[in-house]
Every structure is written in structure tokens, then in C-alpha cells.
């Protein structure tokens, strides 16, 4: 939307007079918005974007192009691109009706050509972009990307959208047994390794619990967590008749992951936070 002004001049008998200043306004017939389906992302994730081009005028447009910079940002003396277009994900609608695929180029940015925008109607473009190694995953990390629509009689119109790194823990657990094989009436050790790939730690108030139904049932349990001994009733419960082992609420804690960006390449690496529960018993 832009304003313009105009003023008239009247000359007569060596006299000049001017009119008032008239103010007009040009309303753009084309508007563009960009929206992410979810406003957060995480490692190995993808973001679905919806670009809406609305034409409030009486003239249709064809041969329009769209580019998306896929979140390009400055790093050192160069730039990095934290998103990759997901091949085959693009859908192109005119007034809600799915159209034939557009011509797509994704190097170095996403570029679409041959878009049409009907008079008094709308064009919607939907696509996915995958998170890559240049996307910040630390708390407060974000990706700001920009689309530009132009051509076919449309001056460049830009729209942006920001998504942020999701906050919260992301846990996985693995279980190992030693020794293998184990002799009858021998001691066996189960090691539970909990990994947190999220940017938020698991704390006591999260009440994380590990449970396991030991089969065969164990006796003479010895338990430790992150190297510190645990006591039955204070840190865990165990039923020697059923073999059910459970940590008590507030006992399991896991640090958050750490994220570092290589000063040369700009790649982000994730080191998960780790906690270890060790249970030893006799078979």
C-alpha cells in the first residue's frame, strides 16, 4: 500500500496560487503470506510451509515466480542455508483446486516458475523443508526464511516466517546385559543408558521412571545411578516374587544435550546428555 500526493498551480496576471495537496493511495491487488504449520522444529525434522497469494483485483496474473531463501543466514564471511527442500513435497492449488506440478529448482534456493493467480481469487503453495546440519538446535535457536513473489506483472512482494528450536527433553534408553552367557546362579548386570537429545534436562520434578520386569527373577540386587549407590525403598522398589523393578519418582535425572557450531564449517553437532542406571543381581 503506497500513498501519492499532487498539487495544482494556477498562474494569472503575474500572480501564482497553488491548490491544496491531494493525497491518494494505491492499494496493492496482490498480497502474500507465509505460514509454518508448526512453529517449532527439532533434529531430523521437517517444516511444512504454506504460501498464500491473494489477488483482490480484477486482473489475473500468469508467469509468476516464487523463491524461498530456505533460511539463509550470515556466518563468518559467507552464508549458510539451514533448510533443504524435500523433493516431491510441493502442492500447488488455485482457488483450492490441486493443479499440475510446477517447475521446481532447489539449488541454491527453492525456486518455482509458471505460477498463475486468478482475478479475485487465490493461489496456495504448500511444501516441506528438512532441517539440516546448519540449523541451530540450541535453546533460543531459530530459522527465519523469506519468500519473494514477482513477475507476470507483479512487483517483488516478500513474506517471512520464523520457526524456533523446540524446547524440551528428548529421551531414548538402551539396555545391555553382561556377562553373556551367564552361568546358573551367577551374577548378571543390566546397564540402562538414558540419552537426552533435547535442549532441556530431565529434573527430579519431571518424575521420570524406569521399570523392568526381570526374567529370570533376580535376587541380591545391587543398584547404582550415575555411579552413586541406590537403596531399596529410598530410590527404587523391587518385587522378588514377580521380578518387577521400578525407580521411584524424583530419582531419575538426565542432563540436556549440548550443541556446538563448528567455527570453520558452521555445522552444528549434538552431544546427548547421558545418565546410567546399573542393576546387578543373582539369577
The pLDDT assigned to 2 comes to: 54
The pLDDT assigned to 17 comes to: 87
The pLDDT assigned to 125 comes to: 98
Neighbours of 46 (CB within 10 A): 15
What is d(CA 141, CA 156) in angstroms, rounded to the nearest whole number? 29
The pLDDT assigned to 27 comes to: 52
Q: Which domains are assigned to the chain?
A: 29-165 (2.60.40.740), 171-282 (no CATH)
The pLDDT assigned to 3 comes to: 67
Helix (H, G, I), strand (E, B) or coil at 279: strand
Q: In order along the chain (283 residues), what is the average pLDDT of each group of 10 residues?
A: 74 83 70 96 93 95 96 94 96 97 90 96 97 91 96 94 93 96 90 95 96 95 98 97 97 96 94 97 93
Whether pTM exceeds 0.85: no
Sign for the pseudo-dihedral over CA of 123, 128, 132, 137: positive
Nine-digit cell at 76?
563468518
Residues 6+ apart with CB under 8 A from 257: 170, 196, 197, 198, 199, 270, 271, 272, 273
DSSP assignment of 12-28 equals: ETTEEEEEEEEEEEEPP
Amino acid at each position: 500500500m503506497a500513498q501519492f500526493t499532487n498539487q495544482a498551480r494556477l498562474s494569472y496576471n503575474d500572480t501564482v496560487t497553488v491548490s491544496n495537496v491531494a493525497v491518494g493511495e494505491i492499494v496493492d491487488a496482490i498480497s502474500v503470506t507465509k505460514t509454518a504449520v508448526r512453529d517449532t522444529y527439532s533434529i531430523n525434522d521437517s517444516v511444512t510451509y504454506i504460501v498464500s497469494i491473494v489477488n483482490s483485483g480484477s486482473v489475473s496474473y500468469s508467469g509468476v515466480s516464487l523463491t524461498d531463501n530456505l533460511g539463509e543466514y550470515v556466518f563468518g564471511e559467507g552464508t549458510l542455508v539451514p533448510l533443504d527442500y524435500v523433493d516431491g513435497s510441493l502442492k500447488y492449488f488455485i482457488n483450492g483446486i490441486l493443479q499440475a506440478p510446477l517447475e521446481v529448482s532447489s539449488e541454491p534456493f527453492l525456486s518455482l516458475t509458471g505460477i498463475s493467480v486468478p482475478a479475485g481469487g487465490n493461489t496456495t503453495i504448500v511444501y516441506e523443508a528438512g532441517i539440516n546440519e546448519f540449523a541451530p538446535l540450541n535453546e533460543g535457536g531459530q530459522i527465519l526464511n523469506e519468500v519473494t513473489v514477482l513477475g507476470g506483472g507483479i512487483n517483488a512482494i516478500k513474506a517471512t516466517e520464523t520457526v524456533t528450536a523446540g524446547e524440551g527433553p528428548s529421551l531414548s534408553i538402551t539396555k545391555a546385559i553382561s556377562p553373556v552367557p551367564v552361568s546358573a546362579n551367577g551374577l548378571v548386570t543390566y546397564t540402562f543408558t538414558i540419552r537426552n537429545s533435547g535442549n532441556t534436562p530431565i529434573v527430579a520434578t519431571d518424575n521420570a521412571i524406569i521399570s523392568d520386569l526381570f526374567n529370570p527373577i533376580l535376587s541380591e540386587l545391587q543398584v547404582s545411578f550415575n555411579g552413586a549407590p541406590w537403596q531399596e525403598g529410598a530410590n527404587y522398589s523391587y518385587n522378588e516374587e514377580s521380578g518387577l523393578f521400578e525407580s521411584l519418582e524424583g530419582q531419575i535425572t538426565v542432563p540436556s544435550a549440548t550443541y556446538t557450531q563448528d567455527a570453520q564449517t558452521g555445522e552444528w553437532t549434538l552431544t546427548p546428555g547421558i545418565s546410567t542406571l546399573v542393576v546387578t543381581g543373582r539369577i
